[in-house]
A and B are shown apart, each in its own frame.
Chain A
Amino acid sequence: MTHHEYDVVIVGAGGAGMRAALESSQRARTAVLTKLYPTRSHTGAAQGGMAAALANVEDDSAEWHVFDTIKGGDYLVDQDAAEILCNEAIDAVLDLEKMGLPFNRTPEGKVDQRRFGGHTRNHGEAAVRRACYSADRTGHMILQTLYQQCIKQEVEFFNEYYVLDLILDGDPQAAAPGEEVAVAGVVALELSTGEIHTFNAKAVIFATGGAGKVFKTTSNAHTLTGDGMGIALNAGLPLEDMEFFQFHPTGLAGLGILLSEAARGEGGILRNSEGERFMERYAPTIKDLAPRDMVARAMANEVREGRGAGPHQDYVLLDLTHLEPAHIDEKLPDITEFARTYLGVEPYTEPVPVYPTAHYAMGGIPTTVQGEVLRNNTDVVKGLYAAGECACVSVHGANRLGTNSLLDINVFGRRAGIAAAEYASGVDAAPAFPEDGDARIRALVDGLLATVGGTGTERVSEIRKALQETMDRNVQVFRDADSLAEATRVVAELKERFTDVAIHDRGKRFNTDLLEAIELGFLLEIAEVVVAGALAREESRGGHYREDFPTRDDERFLHHTMAYATGEGVRLDTKPVVITKYQPMERKY
Chain B
Amino acid sequence: MTAPRLKEPQIPSGRTRHNAEKWSWVFMRISGPLLLVLIVTHLFVNLMTGDGINQIDFAFVAGKWASPLWKIWDFVMLVLAMLHGFNGMRLLINDYAHRAGLRKVLHALLGIATVVIIVLGSLVIWTFDPCLGTDPSLVPDFCKDLA
Contacts and interface: CB of A to CB of B under 8 A. Distances in A.
Do A and B touch directly, given a CB cutoff of 8 Å in the complex?
yes
Interface of A: 151-152, 154-159
A38 to B, nearest CB: 11
A152 B6 CA distance: 8
A246 B29 CA distance: 59
Contacts of B4: 154
B3 A154 contact: yes
A151 B5 CA distance: 9
A158 B1 CA distance: 6
| Nearest 3 A/B pairs, CB to CB | A154-B3, A158-B1, A156-B2
Interface SS of B by simple majority:
loop
A221 to B, nearest CB: 23
A151 B3 contact: yes
Interface string B1-42: 111111000000000000000000000000000000000000
A95 to B, nearest CB: 19
Nearest to B4: A154
Contacts of B2: 156
A155 B5 CA distance: 10
Given A152-B6, A154-B6, 4 more contacts: A151-B6, A154-B4, A156-B2, A157-B3
A159 B1 contact: yes
8 contacts: A151-B3, A151-B6, A154-B5, A154-B6, A155-B3, A156-B3, A157-B3, A158-B1
Contacts of A157: 1, 3
Contacts of A154: 3-6
Contacts of B5: 154
Interface of B: 1-6
Nearest to B1: A158
Residue from B2, B3, B4 whose CB has the most chain A CB atoms within 10 Å: B3
B53 to A, nearest CB: 57
A152 B2 CA distance: 14
Nearest to B5: A154
Contacts of A151: 3, 6
A151 B6 CA distance: 9
Nearest to B2: A156
A158 B6 CA distance: 18
A155 B2 CA distance: 8
A24 to B, nearest CB: 14
A421 to B, nearest CB: 17
A319 B6 CA distance: 49
Contacts of B1: 156-159
A159 B4 CA distance: 13
A159 B3 CA distance: 10
A158 B3 CA distance: 9
Contacts of A156: 1-3
A406 to B, nearest CB: 25
B64 to A, nearest CB: 60
A154 B5 CA distance: 7
A151 B2 CA distance: 11
Nearest to B9: A152
Contacts of A159: 1
Contacts of B3: 151, 154-157
A158 B5 CA distance: 15
A164 B6 CA distance: 32
A111 to B, nearest CB: 24
A156 B12 CA distance: 27
Nearest to A190: B1
B93 to A, nearest CB: 34
Nearest to A33: B1
A207 to B, nearest CB: 18
A156 B6 CA distance: 13
A159 B2 CA distance: 9
A438 B102 CA distance: 51
Nearest to B6: A154
A192 to B, nearest CB: 9
Nearest to A197: B1
A1 to B, nearest CB: 16
Nearest to A153: B3
Nearest to B3: A154
Nearest to A160: B1
Contacts of A158: 1
A421 B5 CA distance: 22
A157 B2 CA distance: 6
A582 to B, nearest CB: 45
B8 to A, nearest CB: 10
Contacts of A152: 6
Nearest to A158: B1
Contacts of B6: 151-152, 154
A401 to B, nearest CB: 36
A161 to B, nearest CB: 8
A156 B1 CA distance: 8
A423 to B, nearest CB: 23
Residue from A152, A154, A155, A159 whose CB has the most chain B CB atoms within 10 Å: A154
A151 B9 CA distance: 12
Residue from B1, B2, B5, B6 whose CB has the most chain A CB atoms within 10 Å: B1
B25 to A, nearest CB: 29
A154 B6 CA distance: 8
A156 B5 CA distance: 10
Contacts of A155: 3
B11 to A, nearest CB: 12
Nearest to A155: B3
B142 to A, nearest CB: 73
A150 B3 CA distance: 9
Nearest to A159: B1
A311 to B, nearest CB: 52
Nearest to A32: B3
A158 B4 CA distance: 12
Nearest to A25: B3
A157 B1 CA distance: 7
A154 B1 CA distance: 12
A359 to B, nearest CB: 33
Nearest to A157: B3
A157 B6 CA distance: 15
B129 to A, nearest CB: 68
Nearest to A152: B6
A255 to B, nearest CB: 36
A9 to B, nearest CB: 13
B126 to A, nearest CB: 58
B101 to A, nearest CB: 33
